[in-house]
């Protein structure tokens, strides 16, 4: 297995397959790089070099007692891109990974990046404030932490079997394999990292970060997202970006649409990367 060691001594696990233009995938909370299996195999077959890492405290990376904030996540991503000397990279982030990508580009610059894609991503800000009335009340995130602390295994099972993939919607056909794989990934990480991660993904304001990003950025979000509400995220991020494009998904696409609707998401990402446009925008 491949690891890099960050300046604070944290070992970050990563996968690096193929050659060609690099695509770097940043995963969502509380998962791991395994959540990108479909995308990595697909884009590898399309001639790209594909890279994904496990965030600190998640997957196979070091279970640290600190550093569970967006700045540190971005610094770890920067350490990986520098270690691999990536150039002309496309950065793709899902959910919390989208925030990681945005903060990385704003904090470390766009010199190594060509494009970015934010899928069901947390920016600009998830929590409700006077300036962000469309956000979710802080009590929602406090409850997530309480459930995690009470019984992480049950909490993760219920989240995967319910709102993450919209398996709780009328007429839905839950996939036991998808639910079990989500639970497996979540339980690989440690409780403290994931507990603190809830604060990181819910309370970090990316408004100013988004305004600084100039590379072409595709914002992909579903109106049926039950985890990161569409009204508080996708349209706002696209508007704040200098060169942002919003792709809206309906028809039951969930927060975890890279898994449940991989064929559509992969095709739209490929069209964006190849400059051939994305249908329906």
Positions marked active-site: 95, 225, 255
- Backbone torsions φ then ψ of 130, nearest 5 degrees: -60, -35
Q: What residues contact residue 157 under an 8 Å CB cut-off, 6+ apart?
A: 179, 183
Chain mean position to CA 165? 15
């Amino acid at each position: 297995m491949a690891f890099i060691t960050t300046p604070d001594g944290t070992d970050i696990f990563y996968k690096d397959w193929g050659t060609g233009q690099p695509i770097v995938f940043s995963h969502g909370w509380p998962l791991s790089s395994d959540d990108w299996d479909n995308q990595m195999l697909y884009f590898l077959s399309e001639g790209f070099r594909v890279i994904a890492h496990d965030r600190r405290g998640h997957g196979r990376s070091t279970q640290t007692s600190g550093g569970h904030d967006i700045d540190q996540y971005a610094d770890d991503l920067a350490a990986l891109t520098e270690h691999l000397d990536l150039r002309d990279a496309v950065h793709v982030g899902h959910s919390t990974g989208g925030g990681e990508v945005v903060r990385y580009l704003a904090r470390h610059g766009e010199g190594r990046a060509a494009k970015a894609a934010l899928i069901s991503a947390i920016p600009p800000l998830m929590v409700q404030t006077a300036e962000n009335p469309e956000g979710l009340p802080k009590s929602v995130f406090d409850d997530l932490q309480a459930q995690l602390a009470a019984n992480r295994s049950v909490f993760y099972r219920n989240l995967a079997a319910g709102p993450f993939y919209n398996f709780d919607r009328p007429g839905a056909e839950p996939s036991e394999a998808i639910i079990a794989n989500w639970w497996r990934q979540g339980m690989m990480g440690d409780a403290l990292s994931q507990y603190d991660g809830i604060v990181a993904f819910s309370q970090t304001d990316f408004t100013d970060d988004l305004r600084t990003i100039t590379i072409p950025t595709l914002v992909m979000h579903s109106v049926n997202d039950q985890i990161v509400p569409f009204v508080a995220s996708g349209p706002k991020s696209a508007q704040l970006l200098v060169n942002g494009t919003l792709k809206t998904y309906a028809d039951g696409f969930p927060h975890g649409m890279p898994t449940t609707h991989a064929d559509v998401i992969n095709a739209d990402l490929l069209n964006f990367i190849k400059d051939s446009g994305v249908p329906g925008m």
